[in-house]
Chains A and B, each alone.
Chain A
Amino acid sequence: MSRSTDSAPAPAETESTSAETTASETDVGTSASGEANADATDAEAPLLAARNISKYYDQSEGFLDDLIGDARPVRAVDGVDLEVRRGETLAVVGESGCGKSTLGRTLLNLESVTGGHIEYRGEDITGLSGSAMQPYRRDLQMVFQDPLASLNPRQTVGEILKAPMEVHGIGESDEERTERVRELLGLVGLKEGHLDRYPRQFSGGQQQRVGVARALTLSPELIVADEPVSALDVSVQAQILDLLDDLQTELDLALCFVTHDLSVVRHVADRVAVMYLGEIIETAPVEELFANPRHPYTKSLLSAVPRIDPAARTDRTVLEGTVPSPADPPSGCRFHTRCPAVIPPAEWAGTQAEFKSAFTFRNRVLGEEIDPEAIRTRLSAESAATDNDAVATRITERFVPDTDAQLPANARKAIENAAARLANGETEAAKTTVTEAFPSPCEDETPRDTPTEGGHVACHRVDPEMPGDPDVL
């Protein structure tokens, strides 16, 4: 359920969303998700719940930056709702820079939350730190991505694993704690002899096992695993995934599994939340998400993953461009600049692909990526004509597919018009031309969260009240 906090949502929308929140809560509970341990009774409050939480990093170092520096905050997490149930594995998946790691750390108050609130078993733990957060630390633990970097190089494995017990006063004597540590080492598949070794004396896989052991010292209820296997080789990765799976069933652990690897998600998760540029754009039970993805970004993501079995390869929708900067996210739906299914205006006569091509031209003009002078020098290097018309035609050639598909006449006119304006340097005029010619609802309004089978999607196409049919892709 995402709503970018800065755009003023229409009043009607706010009520309906809150209604949905309760609705989807029950949906999640009752949905027949595959894994046995996930169909906990819906009455029970979720183990960990995040309501519209945000985490902004300000880039300015000191007052000078505020004065003239680039003071826009980086909105790493921007209005995210999330729930993890007891014994369930929720995968948070997304590409680099989408804020999934920040979300994981903010949930455990390892990063100070900027907005929204976090509840653990119904109790509000938003922004707690130090001694206030201490009791909750016993139940909420974390496993880190870089196995070696998360272990203090100057401490032995024994000291590392005893530290949590000393901090929380578990176990009367040092011998008792050492005994518990031996037990833990066995649990994660390491040998007792490893007790007085230093982190650097282990392989990557073994180091990660120590990381897991440390998370288990306080017998937590939930573990946030931040890309636990990304830094490991395939064969070792499988060992750690196996270990996590066994421990989860054995200790009835809830697991919040942050990763970019969709193949791992399919084998580990009960439910999946897909993140893009600080927002959760779709959540669904794992089988539902892989069988029937609803959000265009999820569809593109799934289609992009290479598959070993040729028969399983669907036709690939390749996303263009790169992820925009989280300090200056696109307005409305943040995915609209790259979305292959961006909704054309009602009167658009051409096909979706044509609109997408025209819309890409629009974004390039607005992003001032087209430099007419550079094109002019290139023309002169090719000893071609270098007047404004030549530059204009060179610009349009790229965006007006003059082959089979015929762009609607007014669209072609608008592109040529904008190109001509660009050629003789009137960038602002070119911008207004393209904005008027190629509007899209995706750009004006932030998509509402439409509940789906066991989750939700934030996309206008899926939203019944909005134009555009959901299955255009």
Chain B
Amino acid sequence: MSDPLLEVEDLRTQFPTERGVVEAVDGVSLRIEPGEIVGLVGESGSGKSVLAESIIGIVEEPGEIVGGDIRLRGESLRDKSEAELAALRGGELAMVFQDPMNSLNPTLPVGEQIAETVRLHQGVGESVRLPAEVKRKILGVAKNSEAWRRAITMLEAVEIPEPESRATDYPHQFSGGMRQRAMIAMALSCEPDLLITDEPTTALDVTIQAQILGELKGLKEAFDTSILMITHDLAVVAETCDRVNVMYAGEIVEKASAQQLFANPQHPYTQGLLASTPRLEDPNQEIDPISGTVPELIDIPYACHFAPRCPEAKRECYDIEPEFRPVGEGIERSTEPSNPATAAADGEGRRGDRSVSNTEDRPEEHVAACLRRGREADRL
């Protein structure tokens, strides 16, 4: 079987602070196949953003990756130099951040910020050395240059109206939704293999979110990229993702296809999360919260990080490190479209043919890291 597009293996990222070392990412493994939309869901403080930043290698001071490996098409990123990584960023790996308000540089026209990515990664023959860039900044961009033309086509691809005139506008002249689209355009402008979106629509209104999520799936097909969708919103995951990883306190606790996860959630935290999420479609749902709060990620003594909040927790949960165990109806081959859910959702939405995932031969796994789940659970 060919190498997966991206494979994260037992990744550890830590932040030394006066009060101890914050283990933001505590041994996480994750796999993304080409053409897939993989969800990473969890509450704030679960470490999902740090995981994304570790993959792209922009973890901020004083954080650092201390263990595990990240492989892009089988090639490890950890032993690449900063220059090599810089070439990857925006080219093979692109990222969209949560806060559209200041993810774009307020003193650069939006078109130029996209054209810059094109120049950096698409080799359009325009110099990216400092003097040329500063000259462009002062004298303005040549509007008939190849990079500018592609920037406009990118703005058009993300359905920003009148892209030609908007390209010369500045970010503060764009609404929140428009800015996020510009960010997506920038990320996709070099046909990356993997687009990581960190809570892309959290700061947006629900109608704008619907527009962008609808477009995102279409763009995925058009630019033949796969997406790592990071969010706290289970409904967004249900509608967009093919496979889902549920993250809690620095660890991934459950992995499944979206359809399996929502039809048959196994890990107590996933069940608790689903139980406490109000659902629009279910009026008589009795919301019942998970009691307690997310623990501080500083040297957590007990094995399963969810134990103190887990109603089924037993003594062993504190002692024995929970391994991933299959919990779905055994391993089944994913012949049907990987996520009937996402297929149905496209419906009348203007864009998007059925997204049949092209991973026929890959075994569908539904695993959870919990001693009281899976085949050996009955012994406890």
Contact = CB atoms under 8 A, between A and B. Distances in A.
Contacts of B206: 95, 260, 262, 301, 304-305
Interface stretch (B62-70, B285-293, B319-327, B372-380): B285-293
Contact of B235 (A290, A305, A370): A305
A306 B273 contact: no
Contacts of B125: none
Interface string B264-307: 00000000111111111111010111110110000000000000
B122 interface: no
Contacts of B175: 322-323
Given A235-B290, A305-B206, A316 B144 contact: no
Given A310-B238, A322-B177, A266 B143 contact: no
A305 B350 CA distance: 17
B164 A262 contact: no
B239 A307 contact: yes
B149 A371 contact: no
Nearest to B290: A235
Contact of A315 (B143, B238, B348): B348
Contact of A290 (B177, B272, B283): B283
Interface string A159-179: 000000000000000000000
Given A263-B280, A306-B235, A308-B274, A235 B210 contact: no
Contacts of A370: 162, 165
A247 interface: no
Nearest to A262: B280
12 contacts: A95-B206, A203-B293, A205-B293, A233-B294, A234-B234, A239-B289, A267-B285, A301-B206, A322-B175, A322-B177, A374-B164, A378-B152
Contact of B287 (A267, A320, A322): A267
- Chain B contact residues (Cβ within 8 angstroms of A): what range? 35 or more
A377 interface: yes
A306 B207 contact: no
Interface in B186-243: 205-211, 213-214, 232-236, 238-240
B359 interface: no
A304 B144 CA distance: 39
Tell which of B45, B206, B347 has the most Cβ of chain A within 10 Å: B206
A236 interface: yes
What 5 A-B pairs are tightest by C-beta distance, nearest first?
A: A312-B281, A238-B289, A371-B165, A315-B348, A374-B164
A300 B293 CA distance: 35
B341 interface: yes
B349 interface: yes
B161 interface: yes
A239 B309 CA distance: 13
Nearest to B283: A266
Contacts of A239: 289, 291
A235 B152 CA distance: 42
Nearest to B288: A238
- Chain A contact residues (Cβ within 8 angstroms of B): what range? 35 or more
A380 B144 contact: yes
Given A236-B289, A381-B148, A381-B149, A309 B210 contact: no
Contacts of A301: 206-207
A45 interface: no
A309 B276 contact: no
Tell which of B149, B208, B236, B347 has the most Cβ of chain A within 10 Å: B208
Tell which of A241, A290, A305, A317 has the most Cβ of chain B within 10 Å: A305
Contacts of B349: 315-316, 318
Given A306-B233, A308-B238, 13 more contacts: A238-B278, A238-B289, A263-B277, A266-B279, A266-B283, A304-B207, A304-B209, A307-B280, A310-B344, A313-B239, A313-B344, A316-B214, A318-B210
Given A238-B288, A381-B144, A308 B277 contact: yes
B340 interface: yes
B277 A234 contact: yes
Nearest to B276: A238
A237 interface: yes
A382 B146 CA distance: 9
A371 to B, nearest CB: 3
Contacts of A375: 164
A193 B172 CA distance: 47
